[in-house]
Amino acid sequence: MAKNVIRTKGKVHEIEHETKQERLDRHWLAKYEMYIEFIKKFGHQKFPSEHELDEYGFEYKPLKNWANSQRAHSKSGKLEDWQYSMLAKAGFDFSPKESRWNRMYDELLEFKRINGHCNVSRYDEGFKQLCYWVSKQRLTRESISVIKIKKLDEIGFDWGVKQNEWDEMYGRLREYYIQYGTSVIKIDLTKNNMEDKNYWLHKWANKQIENYRTGYLSLDKTRMLKKLNFDFEPNKTNHKNQWDTQFLKLVPYKKKFGDYNVPLEWEEDPYFGQWVARQIKEKNYLDRWKKEKLYEIGFFQEINDPIWDRNYKVLKQFYEINGHLKISSTKNTKLYTCVNYIRGIIRGYKNQSLSNSQIRQLEEIGFECEPSIEYWYKMFRLLVEFKNQNGHCNVELNINTEILYKWCESNRKNKSNLSENQIQKLNKIGFVWERDE
């Protein structure tokens, strides 16, 4: 302590006061005590940064900068001997980067002891940090000290390109296939990623599926994976399995109830009823293999089509009232369209076909599969006369040409239902199939 001499009222007083160095030493000792407290409390020297203070406590906020200052002062020779001695005795880490390097090096030694090599893969469970460290050594080799390079060389560290990870993961997949008889990797959703040893293999397998889909998987790799019955289209496989599951319910249902007409909201299996309805609705768009399986058991021949039933009911009512099915396109457009649609199905329009029960229904009401051509040729002759008078076949709609105009429009709309001979005749007189609006 320094002393100051002060004279007051003829008396001399000596007053002690703290010097600047003593004040700095006191502040340093206070931080040192905080450092000791932190070590005892948390057991490490990774002092908290700003975003970690909530976890460790805001009272330790000064420690990170203080520790960095001690390292800087030690390096520059500004750290007092007694301070260095106290820090060293307490185990202060003067070179954390060096300490971490040595710690990771020791982990690499352990990894080699277990695996026989130093090529750490990101797929190695529990070695994510070590993989990052190994990669960093390769990338920063020029800035690494000679001593460190020598230590790594002594354990056979590979400075070149990392070991082929694809071959490594393929080997793991092959082992899985041999053990379980499948290459579909199942993961345990109750565990986190690092605990489940199959997580990375599952992720890698999904990557191969994506590369195959986008064309980035080589033919050699594709062939190798096919040897393990690798499924490159799992979504399709799952869909097929689900479809087959429902399909297998059809025959038992028929044996029990006598037909395939599963109620849409069947209480025993609502999804099955919806599935049956969907096959009927999407009949013309089903995959070929689905159609073949359904036709094989006579599904479409015995099933009731609600759309067909509704149209047939109207058609039958017309027949019972009028005694015929000579339907005018002008008086009953909807029913006329329905009749033409049925005739189109009979001709194989869009690969459609009528079931045996539907054909029997049509026979009951005297439905003519082919319409009378007398009326068509009568109207054709009128069109020829129109051309002779006007020099063209573009009939405009007016009070005198309404019937001929609608007949022409009907031929344009239903060209697919016309015979080859009828189409040739219309082409010969210059009939325009596409009219400008």
Q: Are 217 and 211 in contact (CB under 8 A)?
A: yes
pLDDT of residue 427: 92
CA distance 437 to 434: 9
Work out the average pLDDT over 217-234. 87
Q: CA 430 → CA 223, 320, 435, distances in Å? A: 59, 41, 13
Work out the average pLDDT over 328-343. 76
Tokens for 124, please give them: 């190695």
pLDDT of residue 386: 92
Q: Are 327 and 335 in contact (CB under 8 A)?
A: yes
* pLDDT greater than 80 at residue 348: no
Lowest mean pLDDT: which of 40-44, 79-83, 334-338? 334-338
Element (H, E) at 296: helix 288-296
Tokens for 174, please give them: 């092959």
- Higher-pLDDT residue of 383 and 141 is 383
Q: Are 433 and 415 in contact (CB under 8 A)?
A: yes
Instruction: Give the chain's mean pLDDT.
Output: 80
Q: What is the pLDDT of residues 108-124, one digit of tens each?
A: 988 888 877 787 776 66
Question: Considering the chain, what percentage of its residues have pLDDT values greater than 90?
Answer: 5
* pLDDT greater than 70 at residue 298: yes
Element (H, E) at 246: helix 234-247
Lowest mean pLDDT: which of 65-74, 259-268, 303-312? 303-312
CA distance 413 to 384: 20
pLDDT of residue 135: 83
CA distance 415 to 396: 19
pLDDT of residue 355: 65
Q: CA 410 → CA 92, 328, 403, 405, distances in Å? A: 97, 12, 11, 9
The DSSP-derived string for 387-399 is HHHHSS--PPPST
* pLDDT greater than 80 at residue 396: yes
pLDDT of residue 192: 56
Distance of CA 361 to the CA centre of its chain: 48
Tokens for 84, please give them: 């260095």
* pLDDT greater than 80 at residue 32: yes
* pLDDT greater than 80 at residue 106: yes
* pLDDT greater than 70 at residue 291: yes
pLDDT of residue 66: 84
pLDDT of residue 7: 59
pLDDT of residue 163: 47
pLDDT of residue 387: 92
* pLDDT greater than 60 at residue 285: yes
Prediction pTM value: 0.34
Which residue in 340, 353, 342 sits closest to 414, CA to CA?
340
pLDDT of residue 157: 85
* Ramachandran class of 218: left when φ > 0, alpha when ψ lies in -120 to 50, beta otherwise: beta
Lowest mean pLDDT: which of 195-209, 273-287, 297-311? 297-311
Q: What is the pLDDT of residues 132-164, one digit of tens each?
A: 888 888 888 888 888 888 998 888 888 865 446
- Higher-pLDDT residue of 345 and 254 is 254
Backbone angles phi and psi of 117, in degrees to 5: -155, 170
Which residue in 38, 32, 73 sits closest to 53, CA to CA?
38
Lowest mean pLDDT: which of 58-67, 301-310, 386-395? 301-310
* pLDDT greater than 50 at residue 404: yes
- Higher-pLDDT residue of 283 and 10 is 283
Work out the average pLDDT over 295-299. 83
Place of tokens 């031929």: 411
Q: Which pairs from 56-62 meet CB under 8 Å and 24+ separation? A: 59/34, 60/34, 62/31, 62/34
CB atoms within 10 A of CB 19: 10
